[in-house]
Structure 1
Amino acid sequence: MPARPHLAAAPRALLASLALLGACQSNPAQTDETTATTPAATDAAAKPDSTGKKYLAQPLVKDIYTADPSAHFFNGRIYIYPSHDIETGMPENDNGDHFAMRDYHILSMDSVGGKVTDHGVALDIKDIPWAGRQLWAPDAAFKNGTYYLYFPVKDKQDIFRIGVATSKSPTGPFKAEPKPMEGSLSIDPAVFTDTDGQTYMYMGGIWGGQLQRWRTGKYDGSKPKEQEPAASEPSVGPRVARLGADMKQFAEPVREVKILDKEGKVLLSGDNNRRFFEGAWMHKYQDKYYLTYSTGDTHFLAYATGTSPYGPFTYQGTFMNPVQGWTTHHSIVEVKGKWYIFYHDTQLSDKTWLRNVKVTELKRGADGSLALINP
């Protein structure tokens, strides 16, 4: 989802309408492979830019706008699968129609802080047979000699589904399957392969991501502003399903992930500082599963831990304070013994719909707790 001004204190109705604008966006299509020469800053101290503002890290690329980075370490190299923000010139509205992303660029680098290569367009919306509009935050996976690109896009009926495209190269080009994944829904696919080789997809985002419209198990767009639970009701959790051997379909029904407080109760819908909003990511550390996610209208990255990839997960705290801009969306990856978080803000444009991806080191306490980051 795109970044917007911090409005946590604003009335909830206003926040709801503004958040529908929040969705992963893009910038004009670029087909040539290019190399950026600006290394990522990963120093502990924030550094000022030309305006005097201080940022913990600098944008990985500056010639296109990128957001929602899903990072992976494939064959000794870091690959980043972001959404690609563009200036559409369309007026803003509650449906987020001006976030009309059309393609994906894939970035790569040998090491954090090194040169970043933009490999050009890896998948274009015109090459997805079932797609209607709005290519939002993707993710990727590798298995059995094939790379898989998972993407959310609205179908011809304006309902978000998850699609999959394949390639023999981590940078594409990717060829999309003719239909969306059966049983898929909403946005923000995040794919996690466990140490036993089983692979799972996490997905979902409320408000503009439509997840609240699936509360009954079937899509219902008849009363979109009334379908989010009341503040005193249990919050809507992300969804998860194990992928089949072909990595193109689910091997089981999609189920809801429960995020609990320390007393074992599901977080409430009105608990905006802790409840799930969008952008789930899964990683494993010392046999513990870490579900990390964005709280959306309060702009935190939070984490919860569990003993199973299905959950339930117990809320542990915030690990990143709000970035500049409305949305925050991330991924976490281990590279040569160190852990890094890839995220975005609006340093380059100062516009909520034109973001830039960044990276910084993720540090832990002796007990595995995630250290708080001030971006």
Structure 2
Amino acid sequence: MQRVFKTLALAAWMAVGLASYAQTNGGKNPISQPLVSYIYTADPSAHVFNGKIYIYPSHDIDSENVKRDDDGGHFAMRDYHVLSLDKIGGAVKDHGVALDLKDVPWASRQLWAPDVAYKNGTYYLYFPAKDKQDIFRIGVATSKSPTGPFKAEPEPIPGTYSIDPAVFQDTDGQTYLYFGGIWGGQLQRWDANEYHPGGALKKPEEVAYLPRVVRLNKDMKTLAEPVRELQLLDKNGKPFLEKDNDKRFFEGAWLHRYQGKYYFSYSTGDTHNLCYAISDSPYGPFTYQGILLKPVLGWTTHHSIVEVNKKWYLFYHDVQLSGKTHLRNVKVTELRYNPDGTIQTIDAYK
């Protein structure tokens, strides 16, 4: 009976939330529901391992007493959970804490958006965190299981910085790390891979900051080359300016391959679009194509794209459960391509 009451209470709470949600979103309702509702999750990196879908999200926590600012201090995440499901629309299992901040020797705070890759019997969790000097670095932790627990290396990956690591494994066996984020992600503090604490944001007429890409060594724990900028161009072959903030890169990099082409997707941050660009090489240059997801409720937007049983899916987040920008919930919806390889724009509300 207690379970029945809990189920009814949850259903009523969700109904009230949906009504409020629609009211704040011009009468529209979300096309997808949160995958889990008992914890707050965001920044989903989804992968298929051994026929099962695994999701590696950020784990949002309540940080009401933390000052809200452009540095994102109120995104005060302290651990990672792993979610899994056998099929899209199936039951979601929470495998518990896979890595805790206290078990990362070099990190001081803010475990932001992670990603995972698999190679030779080992799963590699890539994650950003601030070091003891409050500088974002990218670390790596390993496990023999996709659900962890993961053991962090004692130091961050040498040569890495900023946030939002995304790992892409190509068909030739090479592995690439994409990363970067401005504002709180500190990318503006880095020039030619050197740290400048006084680094400033770009002026409107200046060329916008670019994401970073680097090839990993076979050990998956070190860089095989210097980090380089990923060229992101408009359809006329010109770089975006900072004033093009509905198209330029802000954070949330992801790379996938479709019909022999490389698709780089990303968030525009302060204009809340998820956009994408296409290239013939994982290094780029990438040519802008358009918006793949229109803005969702909540300040941030972040995603991953994965193929499951010959269909493609977009994993993303919004704030349906809380209405608060730092307490988000992960969702999924189908992603469709046009015959010419472009992606159909998704509106998360109808």
TM-score by length of 2: 0.91
- CA distances 1:39-97 after superposition (whole Å, capped 9, x unpaired): xxxxxxxxx93436200100000000000000000000000000000002323232332
Whether 1:361 and 2:334 are equivalent positions in the alignment is yes
1:65 alignment counterpart: 40
Identity of aligned residues (%): 67
Whether 1:56 and 2:31 are equivalent positions in the alignment is yes
**Greater mean deviation of Cα atoms: 201-210 or 81-90:** 81-90
2:129 alignment counterpart: 153
User: What does residue range 271-350 of structure 1 map to in structure 2 within 5 Å?
Assistant: 271-350=244-323
1:124 alignment counterpart: 100
The change in CA–CA distance for 1:160 and 1:52 in structure 2 (over 3 A counts) is closer
User: What does residue range 92-171 of structure 1 map to in structure 2 within 5 Å?
Assistant: 92-94=67-69, 95-171=71-147
Considering Cα pairs closer than 8 Å and 6+ residues apart, tell me whether 1 or 2 has the greater RCO: 1
The change in CA–CA distance for 1:253 and 1:113 in structure 2 (over 3 A counts) is same
Which residue of 23, 46, 49 corresponds with 1:74?
49
1:374 alignment counterpart: 347
Structure 1 gaps of 5+ residues are 1-36, 38-47
- CA distances 1:1-54 after superposition (whole Å, capped 9, x unpaired): xxxxxxxxxxxxxxxxxxxxxxxxxxxxxxxxxxxx9xxxxxxxxxx9343620
Aligned residues: 326
- Point out the structure with the larger helix share: 2
- Helix, strand or coil: the match of 1:49? helix
**Greater mean deviation of Cα atoms: 88-97 or 228-237:** 88-97
Distance (Å, rounded) in 1 between the aligned partners of 2:160 and 2:132: 15
AA of the residue aligned to 1:58: Q
- CA distances 1:263-291 after superposition (whole Å, capped 9, x unpaired): 11111111001100000100000110000
Report the alpha carbon displacement of residue 262 of structure 1 after superposing the two structures with TM.
1.3
TM-score by length of 1: 0.85
The change in CA–CA distance for 1:288 and 1:180 in structure 2 (over 3 A counts) is same
- CA distances 1:213-263 after superposition (whole Å, capped 9, x unpaired): 1024311112x4xx2222112111100001100100111110000100111
Whether 1:182 and 2:158 are equivalent positions in the alignment is yes
AA of the residue aligned to 2:188: Q
Distance (Å, rounded) in 1 between the aligned partners of 2:125 and 2:192: 29
Report the alpha carbon displacement of residue 356 of structure 1 after superposing the two structures with TM.
0.2
AA of the residue aligned to 2:49: F
- Helix, strand or coil: the match of 1:51? helix
Distance (Å, rounded) in 1 between the aligned partners of 2:122 and 2:57: 19
